Amino acid sequence: MGNGRNAGHLSTGRLSLLFLFKRGSPLEPIHVHVRKGEGDAKFWLSPVSLAASDGFDARTLRQLEKIVQDRATFIERAWHEHFG
């Protein structure tokens, strides 16, 4: 991708989400960025918790946190494959 990020799509129920990792050396603990439309959120992975958000309501953030929690092993594996 030309935007300096590695991305993966996930569709679950009514949500179609874009999960992102920035390219380069990670300067922060394992985390994932989630985008949909104008919404953007960042979740730490261990333990799963919301780091920042903009444009998502509280209900959607709870849904996103559950999705991240349910897929934490997959996300962590993708993180290590991406960053080495």
62: its two tokens: 């709870």
pLDDT value for 56 = 95
- Taking CB atoms within 8 Å and a gap of at least 24, the contacts of 64-69 are 64/15, 64/17, 64/34, 67/10, 67/12, 67/15, 67/17, 68/32, 68/34, 68/43
Residues of the chain with pLDDT under 70: 1-25
pLDDT mean across residues, the chain: 80
Evaluate if pTM is beyond 0.85.
no
